[in-house]
């Protein structure tokens, strides 16, 4: 069963320097029907003006990853990490027992467009850690590339949860499929472009809850970039 969540139904915030769309309840956006899905708690689609960003602020017991679509994002944290994240890079910060970080647009004249996504961990109070990896266009072109997994398989980043995240670039006649185990849920988010999921037409910003499906196929894309989450079969996130 595929349940569509249209991009136009998301929460929206415009702070001038930040324009953000919230798939699930976040900050001032509260929707009792949209409190996350399985272990997926947050998908924020953020556009940050040149030279602006999120000042240092704390987190704990959350798996937070950033996926840059355009521009460059500068990261600093209390673990001593400093890095710049560009398209193709995936950043994963496991907040664990506590960490503070900042995220700024690295450019003085260009906006940055990125997704910030939170996954609830399976353990509380763990040691904080930071990971970053680049996944080339070639690895994602016409296929679902594993970028996050519980065990860091095939060069993916390691998340503290029974969850896997795939990224794909689909255009024209390209297609990519993912086989799910019989007892799994999934969530599909269209980061940009248009694509079909099992024949369902999707546009940029659309999301789909997936239940009781064993094969997901992305096809007929128009410059599409898509994230697919393979998740535990539960309706709402539960903190450890």
Residue of 38, 66, 77, 45 whose CA lies nearest to 161: 38
Is pLDDT of 99 > 90? Answer: no
Q: What is the pLDDT of residue 172?
A: 95
Q: How far is CA 166 from the centre of its chain?
A: 10
Q: What is the pLDDT of residue 137?
A: 96
Q: Under the phi-then-psi rule, with left for phi > 0, alpha for psi from -120 to 50, and beta for the rest, what region is 79?
A: alpha
Q: What is the pLDDT of residue 189?
A: 98
Q: What is the pLDDT of residue 90?
A: 95
pLDDT in tens, 32-54: 999 999 999 999 999 999 988 78
Sequential DSSP letters for 57-98: EEE-S-EEEEEEEES-EEEEETTS-EEEE-TTEEEEEE-TT-
Query: Average pLDDT, stretch 185-205?
Result: 98
Query: Average pLDDT, stretch 11-36?
Result: 94
Query: Average pLDDT, stretch 119-126?
Result: 96
Q: What is the pLDDT of residue 79?
A: 83
Q: What is the pLDDT of residue 74?
A: 87
Share of the chain above pLDDT 90, in %: 82
Burial 137-169 (b: 16+ CB within 10 A, else e): eebbebbbbbbbbeeeeeebbebbbebbbbbbb
Query: Average pLDDT, stretch 120-134?
Result: 95
Model confidence, pTM: 0.96
CA atoms within 13 A on the CB side of 128: 18
User: So where are the chain's domains?
Assistant: 2-231
**Other C-beta atoms lying within 10 Å of the C-beta of residue 97:** 12
Is pLDDT of 59 > 90? Answer: no
pLDDT in tens, 140-183: 999 999 999 999 999 999 999 999 999 999 999 999 999 999 89
Is pLDDT of 14 > 80? Answer: yes
CATH of 2-231, one of 1.10.540.10, 2.60.120.10, 1.10.10.10, 3.40.50.10280: 2.60.120.10
- Write phi, then psi, for 158 (nearest 5 degrees): -95, 125
Is 207 or 58 the better-scoring residue by pLDDT? 207
Is pLDDT of 113 > 80? Answer: yes
Sequential DSSP letters for 17-61: SEEEEESS-BTTB--TT-S-BTTEEEEEEEEE-TT-EEEEEEE-S
């Amino acid at each position: 069963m595929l349940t569509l969540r249209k991009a136009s139904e998301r929460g929206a915030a415009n702070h001038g320097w930040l324009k953000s769309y919230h798939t699930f309840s976040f900050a001032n956006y509260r929707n009792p029907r949209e409190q996350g899905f399985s272990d997926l708690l947050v998908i924020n689609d953020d556009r940050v003006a040149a030279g602006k960003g999120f000042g240092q602020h704390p987190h704990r017991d959350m798996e937070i990853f950033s996926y840059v679509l355009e521009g460059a994002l500068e990261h600093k944290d209390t673990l001593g990490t400093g890095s710049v994240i560009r398209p193709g890079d995936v950043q994963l910060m496991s907040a664990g027992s506590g960490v503070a970080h900042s995220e700024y647009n690295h450019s003085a004249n260009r906006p940055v467009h990125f997704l910030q996504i939170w996954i609830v961990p399976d353990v509380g109070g763990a040691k904080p850690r930071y990971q970053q990896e680049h996944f080339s266009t070639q690895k994602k072109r016409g296929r679902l590339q594993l970028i996050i997994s519980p065990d860091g398989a095939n060069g993916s980043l390691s998340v503290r949860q029974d969850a896997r995240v795939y990224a794909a670039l689909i255009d024209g006649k390209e297609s990519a499929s993912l086989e799910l185990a019989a007892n799994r849920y999934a969530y599909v988010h269209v980061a940009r472009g248009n694509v079909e999921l099992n024949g369902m037409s999707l546009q940029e910003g659309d999301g789909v809850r997936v239940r009781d499906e064993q094969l997901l196929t992305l096809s007929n894309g128009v410059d599409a970039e898509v994230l697919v989450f393979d998740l535990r079969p539960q309706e709402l996130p539960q903190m450890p």
